Amino acid sequence: MTIMETLADLHAHLVDSWKTLTPKGNRFFGVFNSHKNFPRDLLLKCFETAQKTRTDILTTIVNFDDDRTTGIFEEIKRYSQHASLKDFRRLEYAQKGKLLSVRVGDLTTHFLPGREIRTENGDILLIGNGDDIPSRKASDVFKTAKKRNDSLILVPHMGFPKIGMRLTTAINYRDYIDAVEGKVYATEVHRAELKASDSHTLRYLFSQGLIFNNFDPENPVESLREGLSTARHYQTKKQPGYCEMARHVASFKAADWLLASGICTEEKAQ
C-alpha cells in the first residue's frame, strides 16, 4: 500500500474579512479579494495543488476575531452536494470530529479549524480547534490550550514588531509549544520550524507549507504533532510581498469603515 504524503498549510485565513455583509447580503472578503463562488474557488485551488504536488492536501481555516471556520465548512458541504468542478466531478465529503474531508477520484483535500489569538506577548496559533480562549494573556492561552489537548500550539510571526512573540517569552513557554515560525527562532526554542502561508487570499494559499508522510485523518492533531520534526518544507516561487501586506491592511481598514458608515452590517454570531 502506497502512503500518500500530505501537503499542509497550517496557517491560512483564506479571506481578509468574513463577517462584513453588503446590503445585498454578500460578504466583503477584502480589497481585490472577491469571489462569485468562494467554495468552488477554494476547492479548485486545493485540488489543483494536489494534482501539482501529487499529495493529499490539508488546509487550515483560521479564525481571528470571527468564526469563519464554521461558515466556510458549511459552504463547502453545501457546494459539494451538487457540484461538478471543471475537471473534477462526483465530489464526496465527510466530516469526522473537527476534520472535514472532500474527495474526488483519488484526490483528497482536508480542512481543519484553527484560531489565532493576539496576546499581550504576541500571537499564538492553535490548530485543531477553532474555539476562542477568552484570556489575552499568553500564559493563560498556553495553559488552557495545553489542558484542552486538542490543538497544535504554534508561534507565528516571530521577529515581527507588535504581533510577534519575543524570543525570551517563547523560550520560557517552550514546553507548551509545538513549532515556531522562523528557522533561527525555532533553533533557539528547540522546536520544529513552522512553514505556512498566513494567506488572506486564495492566491497565496500553499505558497509555503509542510509535507507530512504520516498524516492520519483518524487522529489529525496528534499525527501532525508527531510529524512536525520530520516534515519537509514546501515553498513556491510566488510569495506575498509588501504589496500584499498593504492590500491586507487596506482590507481590514475598509471593512471597519464600511461597518462604521452603515453601508455594511456585521454578521451576528449564531
pLDDT digits (tens, 9 = 90+) for 44-79: 999 999 999 999 999 999 998 889 999 999 999 988
pLDDT value at residue 86: 59
pLDDT value at residue 87: 54
Q: Are 39 and 106 in contact (CB under 8 A)?
A: no
DSSP code string of 26-55: -B---TT---SSHHHHHHHHHHHHHHHHTS
pLDDT one digit per residue (tens) for the chain, 270 residues: 345 899 999 999 999 999 999 999 899 999 999 998 999 999 999 999 999 999 999 999 999 888 999 999 999 998 888 766 555 666 788 988 899 999 988 889 999 999 999 999 999 999 999 999 999 999 999 999 999 989 999 999 998 888 999 999 999 999 999 999 999 999 999 999 999 999 999 999 999 999 999 999 999 999 999 999 999 999 999 899 999 999 999 998 999 999 999 999 998 765
Its pTM stands at: 0.93
pLDDT value at residue 1: 36
Four-point Cα dihedral 206, 98, 215, 60, nearest 10: 10
**Maximum Cα–Cα distance across the chain:** 58
Cell of residue 24, nine digits: 445585498
Distances 223 to 122, 162, 214, 226, 247 between C-alpha atoms, Å: 26, 32, 6, 5, 35
Other beta carbons within 10 Å of 163: 13
* Residue partners of 250: CB distance under 8 A and separation at least 6: 31
Angle at 197 between CA 71 and CA 248, to 5 degrees: 70
Domains of the chain plus CATH, in order, are: 6-261 (3.20.20.140)
